[in-house]
Structure 1
Amino acid sequence: MKFSIQLSADYPDKAYGGDRVYQDMLAQATLADRLGYDSVAITEHHFMNCLMMPAPLQFAVKIAAHTEQLKIITAIAILPIRDMRIFAGEVVLADIFTEGRLLLGVGRGNFEYEIERLGIPMSETRERFEESLDVLKALLEREDVAWDGKYYKFDPITVMPRPMNPGGPPMMMAAVNPEAIYHCAKQGYHVQTTPLAGRASFLNEQIDAFNRGKEEAGDAGKDIELTLLRVGFMCHSEMEKRERIQMAHTFLGRFDNVHKGPGFVDSGMVRALPRSQPIDQVARSLLIGMKQEMIDKLSTYDELGVDRIILNVNFGCDPHETLDSIQYFAEEVMPHFTKVERLGMRIA
């Protein structure tokens, strides 16, 4: 199983400064590169301090200039808010500038607050995403592409420069619903998912859907991977663990506000809303703990067949403590998953 750090740029205090936030994210990326993490993942969100990243491809290029081995994942770039005729060229250049280390994660976006403030009804995002994806793929695969669809109509164009590899960088689809995961895998795409606050059996459904789609994809699916996103933090003591869980609970109150919530945002600052989910139940679903607990939880994911874990370590913790967590996890936990045989099991 592979491990990734989500550079989610949490920004709870404007006085801290955006320049310092992204310096912190870059420090996490360079440390992850030295410690042998597989990748870093870059979010995309606009007009808010929660998961703050308005330019994921730009940041991917910046990270590539300071690292040597890391894959750089956009997790995810929101297609419906973009013009694919421009975005396709930006993707090609980002792939060139990252020297082929880009994994292009894409999705339709799920924060109504930002999507509708960009003039796109949330009800249209699925349809817009599907056409945008078709246009993007066509522009990366072919020359002299013309289009006559619902949202795109244009005469023949050729994106320049052409991609380094036919079709551009590998793509990963963001999906939560098991049926959506199945269809993405069936088409031969890598998949990123999260069970959010769902029951344990929901993750089993997600993984079953991926495996079913992967099998039906045949040769196109033989190398695709399932990536799971989780809030995570490596702790040195039970006291620290309790503090981190409380911080994560507060962060999730802000996340809930803009994800399927009312979208209460004050001058860019997302309010933390009270959560109905008890904190002890939250704790069970998070990857926050000490060494053996982390190994035990991750072993379950590994045996289920998850290929990569993205750890969101940015939920309000001190930057130096976050770097310590990244290093501690790499030294004490990652070695247990270098060559572990999967037994095939289910979460009870």
Structure 2
Amino acid sequence: MQFATFILATQRGYHQTSDSVIHDAIEQTVLSEQAGFDTAWFAEHHFNNYSLVPSPLMMVAHCAGLTKRIRLGTAVCVLPLYQPQRLLAEIGFADVVSNGRLELGVGSGYQQFEFERFGVNIDNAPAVFSEYLDIVLKGLSQKIFSHSGQFMQIPPTAISVRTIQKPSPPIWIATGSPSSMRRAYRERHNLLVTALHNGLETLGALRGMIQEAAAAEFKSPGDAKISLLRCCYASADGAEINR
């Protein structure tokens, strides 16, 4: 078992400035490495104070210069909100400046108001995610690639900045969907999953879903790495914990 820090960079109140929240998140990353954590993951959100990180790859690139060992991950890049060709170059750049420490987490997104403000139809998010992931996989594995799909047409294209990790950084799919879980096992990706604040019953159901997805692809659950997000708050003050 490995342990990681998921850094949301929440602005809990307007008594906190945005720059203090971001610098605290960076300091938390440095301290996570010193404490022996294996990975620091950075969220992506927009237009709210739930998370002040608009680009997890920018956090990876910045924290790469302040750390040496800890792996740095995106949790997640919301693929339907990206242009995949540009994202591919930024993935390569982040892996280069981190000396091959990038963990690439991707997801379809879920916050409707974010999609509305980007002019993207959230109803199409699962299908767009699937197609854009196809494009990302092509761009990571092929020096020149093209794509003809429902949402994107790309002529023969070369991505100049290539990742250090071959054939690509580890790819993690954030999902609670059986079909996406099956894809992860089928294509040898990893899983980012959560039971949110729920307890053992929800965790058991999640485990069952993972087992069924693996079996459907003639795999065992252990054929993929599984990152389970659990929420915690550390304090000696019970009232503070509850609040």
TM-score (norm 1): 0.65
Residues 266-286 of structure 1 show CA distances to partners (whole Å, capped at 9, x for unaligned) of xxxxxxxxxxxxxxxxxxxxx
Report the Cα distance in structure 2 between the residues aligned to 1:59 and 1:180, rounded to whole angstroms: 26
Unpaired runs of at least 5, structure 2: none
Partner residue in 2 for 1:100? 100
Report the Cα distance in structure 1 between the residues aligned to 2:174 and 2:96, rounded to whole angstroms: 23
Report the Cα distance in structure 1 between the residues aligned to 2:89 and 2:219, rounded to whole angstroms: 30
Please state how far the C-alpha of 1:178 moved relative to its aligned partner. 4.5
Q: 1:244 and 2:241 equivalent?
A: yes
Q: What percentage of aligned pairs have identical amino acids?
A: 25
Please state how far the C-alpha of 1:17 moved relative to its aligned partner. 2.0
Where 2:105 maps in the other structure, the secondary structure is: strand
Cα RMSD (Å)? 2.1
Please state how far the C-alpha of 1:210 moved relative to its aligned partner. 2.4
Where 1:192 maps in the other structure, the secondary structure is: strand
Report the Cα distance in structure 2 between the residues aligned to 1:214 and 1:192, rounded to whole angstroms: 15
Counting only pairs closer than 5 Å after superposition, residues 250-269 of structure 1 correspond to structure 2 as none
Report the Cα distance in structure 2 between the residues aligned to 1:162 and 1:39, rounded to whole angstroms: 22
Report the Cα distance in structure 1 between the residues aligned to 2:208 and 2:90, rounded to whole angstroms: 35
Q: Which has the larger radius of gyration?
A: 1
Please state how far the C-alpha of 1:5 moved relative to its aligned partner. 1.4
Please state how far the C-alpha of 1:223 moved relative to its aligned partner. 5.2
Partner residue in 1 for 2:18? 18
- Larger RCO of the pair (alpha carbons < 8 Å, separation 6+): 1
In the alignment of these two chains, the number of paired residues is 242
CA gap 1:142/1:45 in 2 versus in 1, 3 angstroms: same
Partner residue in 1 for 2:190? 190
Please state how far the C-alpha of 1:211 moved relative to its aligned partner. 3.6
Contact 1:193–1:227 at 8 Å: present in 2 too? yes
Counting only pairs closer than 5 Å after superposition, residues 138-177 of structure 1 correspond to structure 2 as 138-177=138-177
Report the Cα distance in structure 2 between the residues aligned to 1:161 and 1:181, rounded to whole angstroms: 30
Report the Cα distance in structure 2 between the residues aligned to 1:110 and 1:153, rounded to whole angstroms: 25
Report the Cα distance in structure 1 between the residues aligned to 2:233 and 2:12, rounded to whole angstroms: 18
Please state how far the C-alpha of 1:184 moved relative to its aligned partner. 2.4
Please state how far the C-alpha of 1:199 moved relative to its aligned partner. 5.8
Where 1:40 maps in the other structure, the secondary structure is: strand
Residues 175-216 of structure 1 show CA distances to partners (whole Å, capped at 9, x for unaligned) of 123554344234321101111245633321222332444464
Partner residue in 2 for 1:2? 2
Contact 2:196–2:231 at 8 Å: present in 1 too? no
Where 2:202 maps in the other structure, the secondary structure is: helix
Partner residue in 1 for 2:115? 115
From the two aligned structures, give the one with the greater helix fraction: 1
Contact 2:190–2:224 at 8 Å: present in 1 too? yes
